[in-house]
Amino acid sequence: MADDVTVPPGVARAREALKDVAHEPGAAKPDPILIADKVVRRFGGLTAVSVDHIEIQRGAITALIGPNGAGKTTFFNLLTGFDRPDEGDWKFNGKPLAGVPAHKVARQGMVRTFQLTKALSRLSVIDNMRLGGTGQKGESFWQSLIPAIWKKQEQEITERADDLLARFKLDAKREDFAGSLSGGQRKLLEMARALMVQPDMVMLDEPMAGVNPALTQSLLGHVKSLREDGMTVLFVEHDMDMVRDISDWVIVMGQGKVIAEGTPDTVMADPRVIDAYLGSHHDGTEHDAAEVAAEVDAPAASPAAAVAADQAPGAVDKPGTVDKPGAVAADKPGPVAKPEGDKADE
Amino acid sequence: MNWDIIFGVSIESLINATMIAYALAAIGLNVHFGYTGLLNFGQSAFLGVAAYGLAMTVSTFGLPFWTGILVGLAGAVVLALLLGIPTLRLRADYLAIVTIAAAEIVRLLFRSVSLSEWTGGSDGLQRFSDDFFTMNPYSSALEIGIVSFDERELWVMTVGWLLIAISLLIVFLSMRSPWGRVIKAIREDEDAVRSLGKNVVSYKMQSLILGGVLGSLGGFIFALSRAAVQPDTYGTEFTFYMYTIVILGGAARVFGPVVGSMIFWFLLAFINALLPSLISEGYIPSWFMDANQAGAVGFILVGLGLVLLLIFRPQGIFGDKKEVMLDGR
């Protein structure tokens, strides 16, 4: 993409603003559009989300990453009103949003997309787009019966929808049922439809899931262009290349908490993040770096051994994650030692 | 074989009051099920409440006819609110469960002994339609060839077709408007609609009320055409015929319910007239089927026809097959 060569103004602005922000969980931002405090959501005994403090910088692209089950989507649902927290407050553009129903959140300018794309199948692509228009007079029942009341507004909305369709290269599909689009095109349509609401902040839940690589580039370009238009983007994503490519700031969640924050490069080098993804506790069998290096070097002739060495910590971790790993190590030294033995067999 | 009568009865049922009542009920159900995706299995209750609202106001309390109509319409709105407020926030299936139960509750209330002082119990109510028929401009019966209607029937049919025209106009205008777009979008995915800033619960409520009120018009026609209300006519099978009609005509099509109702009643009347006369003429041997069984066989054949329809033309008469197939998400 051409915009990699010269830095576009939106990127420069966002990077400049985030330059001096501390790389730590809950760091204060110079101009936050969203501030959340002590947001907690429990499902029975499981605390899915427990975020102490989080700020999202206005006009920047912020990525929310974390291993499966870290509570990213739940946190999304809470912020956008699709789920209710057990406790917590958050402010969007200075207005408190806790307890506000989803449709009112959207009207205030925070619009989301879904992990499982929600194209409205049996509506045409253009009708999908028109639906996003806000404040439509024809959406009240009695006024809908008299076309003269809403015809003009409908035209304006259609023009705006057509512009967006052209930008997202869906104009050729204008009259088709949304259900006939491919998975990637549905993602594009969903994003374009969200823009019809004219939001200040766009929340994308795994925008790249199930999209083929060719379309990924185009989707990435669209996400970047949102920043150039002055919108704030918060997105959940698993694809680290994408995160590194487009985000100005990365927030990492693990087991419901924010465990790290920072620019993409610093976060990905952060040991806490690597721990969160690969499992942190090795039950007293913590590898010291030199030992691992020696092990990797020694059986270089058989690559299988290196693979086994990589996988072993995960295997050890599985039974240990739920309980307190230290306790397990103390009580049952046998099973903990066993993976080491396995490795030696290899 | 008396073909004049067989065809006469069948053709009459293309346009008579029963067909109109079912068409109006199905127009309302089409708003619920076809456009909004609300699984309302209690549409018969809307007709029952309207019919009893009219009958009880006039017959039990001696109030004027038009007051009765207003009470009936208000009853439909109140029923929609009662059904909708607890269920519309929940998943779609809950509405189905609540509506089918509510329809039975309504019917059992109408036929209960303790309320029979006002509702007439299982005998129902009569003598509420006099004011309606004094407005009748027709003074003689109509006979064209093999089809004949008396003046009372003609008057009910005139009003009924007028109501169908008004209802279709309302459905047509509202469904091609932005309001209808929101309604159809809710059928597809209500979370997506919510994420775009629309108050989904409010729209579903509006749809439930609109469909209920349109259905209640069918209740008036049904009651007036018989000049009587009887609780057991508003049972669950009433609702299932309406579903048959909506699917037959094509869900979410403006004219679907009317054409569906015409076809349904034409076929039913034709079979119900043909079979007994085939039996009495000896074309069907009595060991195979006797005259008492002919009525049930009529419904069996209609059911068979429906099964074939769903296999070979799931979109109904007016539907778009491509659109129906999109549903396999």
Chain B interface with A: residues with Cβ < 8 Å: 170, 173-174, 177-182, 184-185, 187-189, 191-200, 206, 210, 322-323, 326-327, 329
| Tokens representing residue A338 in the block | 């066993």
Interior CA angle at A29 toward A13 and A256, to 5°? 120
Strand partners, B229: B125
Cα(B209)–Cα(B203) distance, integer angstroms: 10
**Per residue in B267-304, pLDDT tens?**
899 988 998 888 888 888 888 888 888 888 888 887 88
pLDDT reading at A337 higher than 60: no
> Nearest CA to A93 among A84, A85, A81, A105?
A105
Confidence at A298, pLDDT banded by 50, 70, 90: low
Cα(A144)–Cα(A165) distance, integer angstroms: 25
pLDDT reading at A11 higher than 50: yes
Task: Give mean pLDDT, residues B223-235.
Answer: 93
Cα(B296)–Cα(A288) distance, integer angstroms: 83
A to B CB pairs, distance under 8 Å: 114
Strand pairing class (A87-92; A32-43): antiparallel
**Per residue in A95-153, pLDDT tens?**
998 889 999 999 999 999 998 888 899 999 999 999 999 999 999 999 999 999 999 99
CB contact under 8 A, B179 and A106: no
b/e A80-116 (16+ beta carbons within 10 angstroms → b): bbbbebeebebebeeeebbebebbebbbbbbbbbbee
Task: Give mean pLDDT, residues A272-296.
Answer: 64
Task: List the single best residue of A83, A118, A175 to mutate versus B (max B Cβ within 10 A).
Answer: A118
CB contact under 8 A, A118 and B329: no
pTM: 0.85
Smallest Cβ–Cβ distance between B326 and the set A113, A177, A196 belongs to A177
CB contact under 8 A, B196 and A139: no
CB count within 10 Å of CB B321 equals: 11
A101 contacts on B by Cβ (under 8 Å): 199
**Per residue in B243-260, pLDDT tens?**
999 998 988 999 999 999
Q: What is the ipTM of this complex?
A: 0.87
CB contact under 8 A, A130 and B181: yes
Task: Give mean pLDDT, residues A285-294.
Answer: 59
CB contact under 8 A, A121 and B327: yes
Smallest Cβ–Cβ distance between B182 and the set A101, A131, A145 belongs to A131
Smallest Cβ–Cβ distance between B197 and the set A134, A137, A177 belongs to A134
Q: Is A293 exposed, middle or buried (0-12, 13-18, 19+ CB in 10 A)?
A: exposed
**Which of A66-75, A299-308, B316-325 has the lowest average pLDDT?**
A299-308
**Per residue in B159-181, pLDDT tens?**
999 999 999 999 999 999 999 99
% of chain A residues with pLDDT over 70: 79
A193 contacts on B by Cβ (under 8 Å): 196
CB contact under 8 A, B174 and A196: no
Compute the nearest-CA separation of A39 from chain B (Å). 21
pLDDT reading at B238 higher than 60: yes
* Residue in the structure block whose two tokens are 């915009």: A3
CB count within 10 Å of CB B237 equals: 12
Cα(B224)–Cα(B156) distance, integer angstroms: 7
A252 with A66: CB under 8 angstroms?
yes
Order of all β-strands in the sheet with A87-92: A46-57, A32-43, A87-92, A95-96
CB contact under 8 A, A103 and B323: no
Query: Which secondary structure element, helix H or strand E, spans residue B166, and what is its range?
Result: helix B151-175
Compute the nearest-CA separation of A137 from chain B (Å). 8
| Complete DSSP assignment for B193-227 | HHHTT--HHHHHHHHHHHHHHHHHHHHHHHHHHHT
Cα(A183)–Cα(A176) distance, integer angstroms: 14
Confidence at B189, pLDDT banded by 50, 70, 90: very high
> Nearest CA to B261 among B173, B160, B184?
B160
CB contact under 8 A, B197 and A150: no
CATH pick for B3-324 out of 3.30.9, 3.30.70, 1.10.3470, 3.40.50: 1.10.3470
> Nearest CA to A133 among A152, A113, A160?
A160
Q: Is B317 exposed, middle or buried (0-12, 13-18, 19+ CB in 10 A)?
A: middle
**Which of A302-311, B84-93, B198-207, B301-310 has the lowest average pLDDT?**
A302-311
Cα(B141)–Cα(B150) distance, integer angstroms: 4
CB count within 10 Å of CB B215 equals: 34
Smallest Cβ–Cβ distance between B184 and the set A118, A123, A150 belongs to A123
Compute the nearest-CA separation of A120 from chain B (Å). 5
Q: In 3-state terms, what secondary structure has residue B228?
A: strand
Compute the nearest-CA separation of B252 from chain A (Å). 11
Confidence at A216, pLDDT banded by 50, 70, 90: confident
B19 with B267: CB under 8 angstroms?
no
